Chain A
Amino acid sequence: MKKILSLLIFVSSLFFSGQSQADNLLMARTRLSFPEAMLKLQDSIHEQGYTVSRIQRVDIGLTKSGYRTDKYRVVFFGEAKLVKRLSNDYPQLIPYLPFKIAIFAEGEETLLIASNPHELTRNVYPELESTMQKVEKDMLAIFKSMRDDE
């Protein structure tokens, strides 16, 4: 029985080791053009239960100031109750709220990047572990959907 259990643990570890996602800088490339990717990103954010609160058009400001750039936006999003709770109870997190994803064109493709909010609170606010794990899971789902290119 012990041998079977050991083998079970070994095989499980082989499987789950391939699934680990420890990266704190979330990045994705999609073959979608920038406008298509923008639409899909907003849909993906909504699908995970968040509201897009604002879109900062970084490229517009740069262009108006005379600099050349490709399309570049920052998409802010959050969930009202969560933002209220985090900002009230954990004010050190205020500068990181609402959450955001930077999105920009690279030729015909589009790249997305975000920091993993869970990384900010891990080992600092253990009581937030389950809350931030969910946010991490949601953001990973958003990035996965963007990689799927459809």
Chain B
Amino acid sequence: MHRDFPALSHMLVFLFFISLPVFAEENGAALYEENCAVCHGNDGRGGVGVPLALPDFQYAVSDQFLERTIRKGRPGRVMPAFNNLDDAQVKAIVRHIRSWAPGKPIAHPSIKVKGDPVKGRALFAKNCAACHGSKGEGGKGTGVTFSRPRDLPIIAPALNNRGFLYAASDQMIKATLMNGREGTPMVSFLKQGLSEQDINDIVSFVRSFEKQTPVNVTHEPDRNKLASVYESPYDMKETIAALKRAIIGENFRIIRIQNLDSGLVDEAQEDTHKVIIYFCNFQLLNDALAVDPRVGLFLPCRVTVVEKDGKVLVYALNPKRLSYLFNNAELNKLCEGMSETYISIIEEATL
């Protein structure tokens, strides 16, 4: 047994050294690049995610706010919860984010703000709802620039979001209301004429969102429902013709009809019993891109007609099967609508 010891100790030493990078101080940059940069930009200038390098954001939020945001995300508001990262990794990412604005980050005291949420409700409706929504649901869309010009540098955050309420302390919300955020549309409400007590009342009202029932945003998919399948009473040619009519009837444009394996095999060898009909409604697409520019995964809309064993079957993907991946409640709604459209088209063509 002791003969095994040298080999095992060598392996331990080897594993120890190859695991060192995981804990290295500078690993925050690599972790950021792997997990955050795609949305927030390599240098924190923002994209689908908020601009983390914005100086006023950096000075106004605590490390705890950032750490909790990474941990819990913003359910239904694109920012996912990074459960795969351990505490050391989260802290390393925060250190990297802090490197863009040297200086000691603020640490808000944990003292609860005492205000009147009833008075706060009225003040919120008058001063905050225009940007943050009447129920604190936040602005529509995602992030800053992404694939199209945006009117605002940031989208107003959802103040009723469970993740936000977990991450933001009363004192942080109060400080934001008092001071505003330079470089964003968030103004100082002290300068707008509200008193400190008014601001305390608004904070109390925002905190009261915690008592609301959280919206189901996860869209946990039905694992067996990858696709909708309908049997057509017509032959292949007639089914395709009926689908084309139904698609146009739903205000979509046919953009391409091809065999499933087109481009993968020589044209003469293509399987003509599996045909894809691609279609699009560009206004709907434009709206969807504004909700989440990553909707390319659903594009273009399609149905697939398959002839097998004397039957003609029509397949459409279940959009809800993919939408839950995006953590975007607005996109979920669009996908529910798209599911209904697919069903409507196929039923129109096959019933």
A105 CB contacts on chain B under 8 angstroms = 147
* B45 (CB) vs chain A CBs: closest residue: A107
Contact B313 A91 (CB under 8 A): yes
What does DSSP make chain B's interface, helix, strand, loop or mixed? mixed
A111-129, CB < 8 A from B: 111, 113-115, 119-120, 123-124
Instruction: Point out the residues of chain B lying under 8 angstroms from A76, CB to CB.
Output: 263
Chain B: minimal CB distance from A49 (Å): 12
How far apart are the CA atoms of A115 and B326 in the complex, in Å?
10
Interface residue? B4 (CB, 8 A): yes
Known A4-B5, A79-B264; contact A95-B149, beta-carbon cutoff 8 A:
no
Chain A residues near B260: list those with CB within 8 A.
83, 87, 94, 97-98
User: Does A53 lie within 8 Å of B304, measured CB to CB?
Assistant: no
Query: What distance in Å separates the Cβ of B270 from its nearest Cβ neighbour in chain A?
Result: 10
Task: Please state if B227 and A92 are interface contacts (CB–CB under 8 Å).
Answer: yes
- For B295-314 the 0/1 string (1 means CB < 8 A from A) is 11101101010101000010
Q: Which residue in A53, A68, A115, A120 is a CB contact (below 8 Å) of B264?
A: A53
Tell me which of B10-18, B68-76, B168-176, B189-197 binds A.
B10-18
Whether B264 pairs with A102 at a CB distance below 8 angstroms is: no
User: When the two chains form their complex, are residues B224 and A124 in contact, meaning their CB atoms are under 8 A apart?
Assistant: yes
For residue B21, which residues in chain A have a CB less than 8 angstroms away from its CB? Answer: 18
The 8 A CB mask of A1-38 against B (1 = contact, 0 = none) is 10011011001101101101011110111010000000
Cα of A79 to Cα of B265 in the assembled complex, Å: 9
Other-chain contact of B317, A28, A67, A91, A96 (Cβ < 8 Å): A96
Q: Contact: B22 with A102, CB < 8 Å?
A: no
B residues 226-271 in Cβ contact with A at 8 Å: 226-227, 229, 255, 258, 260-265, 271
Q: A95-B227, A120-B226, A124-B223 are in contact. Are A106 and B19 (CB under 8 A)?
A: no
Q: A40-48, A56-64, A130-138: which lies at the B interface?
A: A56-64
Knowing A7-B12, A17-B86 touch, does A83 contact B19 (C-beta < 8 A)? no
Contact residues in A for B294 (Cβ distance below 8 Å): 25, 27, 102, 113
15 contacts between A and B (CB under 8 A): A4-B12, A8-B8, A11-B16, A14-B19, A25-B326, A29-B42, A58-B296, A95-B302, A95-B316, A98-B263, A100-B296, A109-B42, A119-B325, A123-B223, A147-B33
> Which B residues are within 8 Å of any A CB, using their own CB?
1, 4-5, 8-9, 11-12, 15-16, 18-19, 21-22, 33-34, 37-39, 41-42, 47, 84, 86, 89, 145-149, 223-224, 226-227, 229, 255, 258, 260-265, 271, 274, 278, 280, 282-283, 285-286, 289, 293-297, 299-300, 302, 304, 306, 308, 313, 315-317, 321-322, 325-326
